[in-house]
Structure 1
Amino acid sequence: MSDHHTYGTRTHTAGELVRLVSDCLGLVFTERDSDYRGVYHRASSPNGRIEIQPNPIPGDDGEDGLYAPEHPEVQVLLLTTTPTTGPALQARLGSIEGLIHLSHETV
């Protein structure tokens, strides 16, 4: 079973959010490049992983699409995947100004 949360921001760039989350959680993010997702940042820990990426992603036709089309107003996404519900992680991320919790799914 995995617990997934999606957060978003309209006020921070991906780089700014990486810095804020790094400071808040003490994690080190690495930059990755994907044909599907574009440039994104990932941090892993024994408790799961956190990814930060722009909502606009490169499209095959040369036009950007949205990773989360249900939230077109969000410029940057933060995605968490943990093995169990992490209320402490959610509380710490909730303390970051401008970061909005968008969705939760347990699979």
Structure 2
Amino acid sequence: MTDHHTYGTSTHTADELVRLVSDCLGLLFTERDSNYRGVYHLAGSPNGRIEIQPTPILGDDGEDDLYAPEHPAAQVLLLTTTPTPHPALQARLGSIEGLIHLNHETV
């Protein structure tokens, strides 16, 4: 089983959210650059991974596309993936002002 959560914010930039989540969880994020996703931030831990992804990404036509068009109001997304539900992680992320839980999926 894998547990996925999606959070969003229009209050914080990606860099601000990296700092807030780093302080809250004590994780170190590394910046990644992808042709598909643009620049995003990744932190791994024994309990899973957290990604911070700006929603607008440069499209093939030179115009911005949305990484997650189902959440157009969120300027930055935070994506968590854990092997099992992790209520403590969800509670700590829920304490970050301006970060809204958008979606949950277990597969």
Q: TM-score range by the shorter chain?
A: over 0.9
- Determine the structure 2 residue equivalent to 1:84: 84
Aligned 1:58-69 pairs, distance under 5 A:
58-69=58-69
Structure 1's unaligned 5+ residue stretches are none
Structure 2's unaligned 5+ residue stretches are none
| RMSD (Å), alpha carbons | 0.5
Normalising by structure 2, we get a TM-score of 0.99
Matched, 1:4 2:4: yes
Q: How many angstroms apart in 2 are the aligned matches of 1:2 and 1:28?
A: 22
Opposite residue 58 of structure 1, the aligned amino acid is L
Aligned 1:36-75 pairs, distance under 5 A:
36-75=36-75
Identity across matched positions, percent: 86
Q: Count residues with an aligned counterpart.
A: 107
